[in-house]
């Protein structure tokens, strides 16, 4: 299923380096929050993610959070990281991706969407015709319906 398959799969966001992005002409990142940057088990930003975002910004890589979360807590992560956010995104609908691109003045071709979930993060990037990287979820703690989608993902994508 091409619509659910990322261009690249990595273990965690910290595996993405500014050098890797710049060598491929990427200047921006749209970042999922839950289980991509923040573990659902702890609800906290790790020191390694804080340092990673800081390194991206120092290298001139624009970042924007893109989350389906409806809780204002998600906005606190954006404040801590000092980057813009589009929440209540309703991924995989492309409209939130377009809003996020506009917030950081980026273009689809030079922006990478990063997330842990094929049915929201990756499908949304594909529908928006954007490059995407899928990372492993930070935790096995998930919403009940996300667990169902993860089982489908294993059958359809991880063959």
| Domain range list for the chain | 2-156
- Bridge pairing between strands 28-31 and 8-10: unpaired
Question: Could you identify the residue written with the tokens 């979820």?
Answer: 137
pLDDT at 80: 96
pLDDT at 79: 96
Read off the pLDDT of each residue in 42-51 and give the average, rounded to a whole number: 93
pLDDT at 119: 85
Read off the pLDDT of each residue in 7-18 and give the average, rounded to a whole number: 96
Identify whether the C-beta of residue 16 lies closer than 8 Å to the C-beta of residue 115. no
Does residue 150 register a pLDDT over 60? no
**What are the b/e assignments for 63-97, b being 16+ CB within 10 Å?**
bbbbbbbeeeebeebbeebebbbbbebebbebebb
Read off the pLDDT of each residue in 90-114 and give the average, rounded to a whole number: 96
| % of the chain surpassing 70 pLDDT | 86
The domain 2-156 having CATH identifier 3.40.50.2000: the answer here is: no
pLDDT at 48: 96
pLDDT at 20: 97
């Amino acid at each position: 299923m091409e619509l659910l398959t990322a261009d690249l799969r990595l273990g965690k966001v910290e595996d993405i380096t500014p050098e890797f992005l710049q060598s491929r002409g990427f200047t921006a990142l749209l970042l999922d929050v839950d289980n991509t940057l923040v573990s659902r088990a702890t609800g906290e930003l790790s020191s390694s993610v804080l340092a990673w975002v800081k390194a991206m910004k120092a290298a001139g890589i624009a970042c924007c959070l893109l989350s389906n979360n409806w809780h204002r807590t998600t906005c606190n992560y954006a404040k801590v990281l000092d980057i813009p956010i589009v929440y209540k995104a309703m991924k995989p609908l492309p409209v939130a991706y377009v809003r996020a691109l506009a917030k950081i003045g980026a273009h689809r071709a030079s922006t990478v969407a990063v997330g842990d979930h094929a049915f929201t993060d990756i499908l949304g990037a594909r529908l928006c015709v954007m490059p995407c990287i899928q990372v492993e979820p930070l935790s096995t703690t998930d919403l009940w319906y996300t667990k169902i989608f993860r089982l489908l993902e294993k059958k359809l994508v991880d063959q």
